[in-house]
Structure 1
Amino acid sequence: MTAAFGNYATDILSQIEEGNRVSGKMRFHGYHRREMFGVLPSGKHKHDVWWTGMPIFTFDGGKVRDHL
């Protein structure tokens, strides 16, 4: 991911906490500088090259125990 996208970044759009679990809607983006999934680089940034995800983290005390 970081090889294909320069200035790779993640924006947290929303976050939810329930007990020892935290989840958030995130937008990932960067400059498309190398081929990825068969798509040639565009050199464009952010609004042209981005996707969303929603990872779930489980905590044990102050440490991340799980990442789904």
Structure 2
Amino acid sequence: MRKSYWKTFELARLGVHPRTIRAIMRIQRRQQYSDQKYEQFKIQLSSIAASSLHLFDKKLLSD
């Protein structure tokens, strides 16, 4: 079974309310999504910086 099912089962066994469990799962999903987007942003930013640096170096060499 899925990992989230077991987390839900364990939380329910501890007496956590179902709405609270769903809220926890939603927060975790959103955090994973934002972490993924942040990693993509860092990669894009580094590639932009690298290409800008490359263009800057070319300009210096041509002068």
Shared fold (TM-score, shorter chain, > 0.5): no
Higher strand share: 1
Higher helix share: 2
- Measured against the shorter chain, the TM-score band is under 0.3
Q: Which has the higher contact order (CA 8 A, sep 6+)?
A: 1
TM-score, normalising length from structure 1?
A: 0.16
